[in-house]
Amino acid sequence: MFKRFMRSNAVQITIGWLVAAYMTLVKYTTRWDIERAEQVQHIIDEGKGFIALTWHSRFMMLTAAWKKDYQLPHVLISRSRDGAIVAHTSHFLGLKTIRGSAKKAAKGDMAAKAKGGAKASMDIVMALDKDGCIVVTPDGPRGPRQRMGDGPIRLARLTGAPLVPCTFAVQNRKQFESWDKFVLPLPFGKGKIIWGSPIKVPADADDRKIEHIRERIESEMNIFLADADKAMGHDPVRAADP
């Protein structure tokens, strides 16, 4: 009964609107401290497309980092029921959506085509060609927590767009015992945003180079996430065993 209720398009739209309204409330009632913004300013100023990365547990805070003059975000969303709600939320926030998987889109094989990967790949390339931003949670949709898959790196190799990590923490929050230790930000507190180091993936990068880049980004994102959590008065969330 509950699953049927949640599959209702009207219910999903309503939940999406409520979540978007709540995210907007949090964004404008939180006092944000932004670190390392200079790392990405030249990319934003150039107006070129890039791939933004944030951990699945913190994706609700991503709009806090975004200003109107930044590249238009396109959120890469799974084809699950939960993905439909995120898609509606993104719509109400004025974001674009692409349904599919970063890994499958990067591969472009027959299995990917069957699950929408080929279309996702085309949509990603088109968005980046139009100087947009693709938002990816590299440990989603099911984990392991804070462990980066190689899909975004292969997308960056395919498109030539730089990878730009971004991590978040808030003072007021509710943390859930989900696989990702999901954080629900609460309004009227402090928040911290830390931009990571942009990375371009060479077009001729082999598997060894891709793995090196993957480890580097994963490590940096976890270090900055721990720093942000500590600054907001919380114990850091450990990454799951690989």
pLDDT for 47 beyond 50: yes
| pLDDT category of residue 117 using cuts at 50, 70 and 90 | low
Architecture per CATH, domain 2-231, reads as: 3-Layer(aba) Sandwich (3.40)
Using an 8 Å Cβ cutoff, are 92 and 16 in contact? yes
* Structure-token match 């699953």, residue found: 3
Spatial CA neighbour of 25 closest among 204, 136, 178, 189: 189
Element (H, E) at 123: helix 117-129
Taking the whole predicted model, whether its pTM rises above 0.85 is answered as yes
| pLDDT category of residue 1 using cuts at 50, 70 and 90 | low
Question: What is the side-by-side strand order in the sheet with 50-53?
Answer: 31-35, 190-195, 163-170, 50-53, 133-136, 73-77, 96-99
Using an 8 Å Cβ cutoff, are 74 and 97 in contact? yes
- The model's pLDDT over 61-115, given as tens digits with 9 standing for 90+, comes to 988 998 877 898 998 887 666 678 888 999 999 899 888 766 666 665 434 444 4
- What 8-state DSSP symbol labels residue 202? P
In the chain, where the domains are located: 2-231
| pLDDT category of residue 30 using cuts at 50, 70 and 90 | very high
